Amino acid sequence: MPGKQAVPLRQIDLPITFGTPSNFRTETLTFEVVRFHGTYHAMLGCPCYAKFMVVPNYTYLKLKMPGPKGIITVSTSVQRAYECEVECCEFASTVIASEELPAVHQVDDEEAPNAKKAFGSFKPAEDTEEILINPSGSEGKTVRIGATLTPK
């Protein structure tokens, strides 16, 4: 989330495996542990891509990497990617709302805006004239328009 900062507490080395039992690859990756609540348990980025020599294809939601018996392809579905995105947005909204709620309760009645109190007055622009909205009606409602407008 923008404006939030997560300071690493420590680092941990974990073996990560991609592939199937017949064609797999395992590498040890270093993860930074942070005290940050989020929808993800781990994020794989450039260090992971470099170590596994991954080629990401964001359009097809696939990762391809070399394996001992050919190319290893890791993929997901558009539906699953959409569900993850919705979950992330809901989580972010909840976090923001929970942080803003105490601030809302701290507003004093004196500082709260009074709807009955006028903060300023509306002054029409120069060279305006008042025109009846419905000349044949009896309501008498008017509108102000610029006097410098052409008849069109």
Give residue 109's pLDDT: 47
Query: Would residue 136 count as lying in a domain?
Result: no
Give residue 17's pLDDT: 93
Give residue 113's pLDDT: 57
pTM greater than 0.75 (yes/no): no
Query: Would residue 128 count as lying in a domain?
Result: no
Query: Would residue 150 count as lying in a domain?
Result: no
Beta strands 142-146 and 8-20 are unpaired
Nearest to 27 by CA among 10, 14, 43, 46: 14
Give residue 137's pLDDT: 72
Structural domain tally of the chain?
1
Query: Would residue 74 count as lying in a domain?
Result: yes
Counting as low any pLDDT under 50, the low residues of the chain are 109-110
Query: Would residue 98 count as lying in a domain?
Result: yes
Query: Would residue 18 count as lying in a domain?
Result: yes
Segments forming the whole domain that contains residue 43: 8-105
